[in-house]
Amino acid sequence: MTTALAPEHPIRRRLARIGIAVLVVIALIAVAFGVYVNMVMPGERAEALRVWDDRGVSITSTDHSVVLAPTGPANGTGLVFIPGAKVDPYAYMFKLSSIVEAGVTVVITKPTLNLAFFDTRPLSTFTADAPDVTEWFVGGHSLGGVKACMLADDPAVSGLILFGSYCANDLSDTDLEVVSISGSEDGLSTPEKIGNAAAMLPSDTEFVEIDGANHASFGDYGVQSGDGEATIDTDAVRDAITAVLAPVLE
């Protein structure tokens, strides 16, 4: 006896097609996101090599950080520094190397997916890379600075350093030592935006604007879309950053 199979219901066929289409869209989004987060703005090799050649700075790369340590006497102060979104951590070595020469240990993080907001690792992941440090500051550039603000409530943190950035969470009632360095030509974290967010920081926060610096001036990774045009070179920005931070991190 032969039994005839019932034809597939048209609603089932339609649902199956929709399900396949949804899976394809999800797969395409995942691939596009993977490509996006891995399109990192690279550090300019010439500036990075200037640090590699500097005998006053020891450089160690781990799977989660780049550690810049003084080859001379260390002063016991450390800075965990978080890169801006999709910026190569090595792009910040030159700008931070002068304070390392002065005795500060700097741990530049390698954010998850190159975006600080996806990095759920605790601050201790990075401070463990410099166990001899006795006082820690946390800081960052752009969105990395926003993330640094979120980590600043860690009991191990004494202060906060912002490069072209501002806080989204309220730290105004804390006793943190805060330094906010901005650029007059910054087209992304504009002086107006930093001024509008100033109430989120303690009243004794030190605000410093580097005349002629733009958003990308705080690293060495080339031109950034939407930014203003810098009228100051990378060495001058480095000198200005060092002049501000050296007394704070001594």
Q: How is 34-46 classified by DSSP, letter by letter?
A: HHHHH--BPPPHH
CB 214 within 8 A of CB 230: yes
Q: How is 175-242 classified by DSSP, letter by letter?
A: --EEEEEEETT-SSS-HHHHHHTGGGS-TT-EEEEETT--GGGGSSS---TT-----S-HHHHHHHHH
Report the amino acid identity of residue 63.
Answer: D
From first to last of its 250 residues, the chain has per-residue pLDDT tens of 555 555 556 776 666 666 665 544 444 333 333 433 344 455 555 666 667 566 789 999 999 999 999 999 999 999 999 999 999 999 999 999 999 999 999 999 999 988 988 899 999 999 999 999 999 999 999 999 999 999 999 999 999 999 999 999 999 999 999 999 999 999 999 999 999 999 999 999 999 999 999 999 999 999 999 999 999 999 999 999 999 999 999 8
d(CA 135, CA 10): 68
Which strands, in side-by-side order, build the sheet including 105-109?
57-61, 65-70, 105-109, 77-82, 135-141, 157-163, 177-183, 206-210
Q: Which long-range contacts (CB under 8 A, 24 or more apart) does 231-239 make?
A: 231/185, 234/47, 234/94, 234/95, 236/212, 237/95, 237/210, 237/213, 238/94, 238/95, 238/97, 238/98, 239/98
Could you tell me the sign of the dihedral formed by the alpha carbons of 37, 38, 40, 43, in that order?
positive
| pTM for this prediction | 0.83
